Amino acid sequence: MHGIVPRYHQLKAILHGQVRSGAWQPGDLIPSERELSDRYGVSRMTARQSVTELVHAGVLYRRQGKGTYVAWPRIAQGLTNLTGFTEDMRARGMEPGTRVLGQRMWATSETEAVRLQIRPGQRVCEVRRLRLADNEPLAVERSLISFFGCEQLLEADLSHQSLYALLETAYGLVPCEAEQEIEAGLADDDHARTLGVAVDDPVLLLRRTTFAERGQPIEYAESVYRGDKYTLHARLARAPAAR
C-alpha cells in the first residue's frame, strides 16, 4: 500500500470491499489482526485501527475472546421523509417483497377508530402482510385502510404492488403526511414464527397513521420490525434559540 491516503484508511476500504462484494458473508469470522497485518504488510496497530473503525460503523462486530465477525446489514429508515416500504427498500438497493397473510373487511375497535377519525365499528379494509428485503423477512404489517369504497381493495393483489402506489394511482389518495410512534418490544410466538426469529427476540413496534392531501387519515398500520435488521435514522437540527 502506498500514497498519501493513511494506511489504515486503505486497509479499511479493502476490508469493507470484502463485505460489500459478498466475499465475506454476515456471520463470517474475519482474519485476525495478526493475519491482516501479514497479508497486507501493515503494522498490527494499523490493522487494529481499520478493524475498529469498521466495528464502529456497524460493518463488523467483535465477540469477546472469539474474534471479529461480519455484521448483518441493518436497513435504516429515515424519520423525517414519508416513504412506503417499497420505496424504502429500493432506495437502499434492496429488492422489496410482500407475502399477503390476510385481507378482509374489519370493524374497527375504539382505539383504531380514534386513529382513523371514524366511528368505532365502522368497517375498513384490513391487510396483513409479511414484508421482505432481498427475500428475507423484515417486518409484519397490519394495515387498516379507510376511505369511501375501500372494500374494493379486497380485489387488489398486494403481493405484487405497493399499497401507497395503489392508493395514489387507483384512488387518487396521495400519502402526504404521517404520524409515527416507535416502541421497543419482544417477539411473541406469532411474530417469531413469521419473521423467523426466536420468541422474545427484540423487535421494533411502529404505529403509523398516514394522511392524504387534505389531512384525511387513510391508513393506520401496526408494524413489527426485526430488531436485528432495522435501524431508524434521524438527522437532528438544533433549534435556533439554543445555538
36 vs 153, which CB is nearer to ligand GLP?
Answer: 153
**C-alpha 236 chain-centroid distance:** 19
| 86 is an interface residue for ligand GLP by CB under 6 A | yes
φ and ψ at 43, to 5 degrees?
-75, 160
Which residues between 150 and 179 bind ligand GLP (CB under 6 A)? 162-165
- Give the interface segment with ligand GLP, choosing from 11-19, 41-49, 82-90, 191-199 (CB under 6 A): 82-90
| 230 is an interface residue for ligand GLP by CB under 6 A | no
Q: Could you give the residue ranges of the DSSP H alpha helices within the chain?
A: 7-20, 33-40, 44-56, 85-91, 110-116, 163-171, 189-195
31 vs 217, which CB is nearer to ligand GLP?
Answer: 217
Order of strands across the sheet with 136-145? 96-107, 123-133, 136-145, 217-226, 202-211, 177-186
Nearest to 60 by CA among 27, 32, 85: 27
Q: How far is the CB of 180 from ligand GLP (least distance, A)?
A: 8
Across 30-160, the runs of DSSP E, i.e. the strands, are 60-63, 67-70, 75-78, 96-107, 123-133, 136-145
Sign, CA dihedral 150-152-158-163, equals negative
CA distances from 198 to 90, 186, 188 (A): 28, 10, 9
- Give the interface segment with ligand GLP, choosing from 79-87, 108-116, 186-194, 231-239 (CB under 6 A): 79-87
The phi-psi region of residue 3 (left if phi > 0; otherwise alpha if psi is between -120 and 50; otherwise beta) is left
| 141 is an interface residue for ligand GLP by CB under 6 A | yes
* CA 13/CA 135 separation, integer angstroms: 28
- Give the interface segment with ligand GLP, choosing from 13-21, 117-125, 183-191, 217-225 (CB under 6 A): 217-225
59 vs 156, which CB is nearer to ligand GLP?
Answer: 156
Q: How far is the CB of 243 from ligand GLP (least distance, A)?
A: 34
Q: Which of 143, 153, 203, 229 touches ligand GLP (CB under 6 A)?
A: 143
Q: How far is the CB of 88 from ligand GLP (least distance, A)?
A: 7
208 vs 226, which CB is nearer to ligand GLP?
Answer: 208
Q: Which of 8, 85, 147, 211 touches ligand GLP (CB under 6 A)?
A: 85
Which residues between 184 and 213 bind ligand GLP (CB under 6 A)? 206, 208
Question: Can you give the binding site for ligand GLP, defined by CB under 6 A?
Answer: 84-86, 141, 143, 162-165, 206, 208, 219, 221, 223
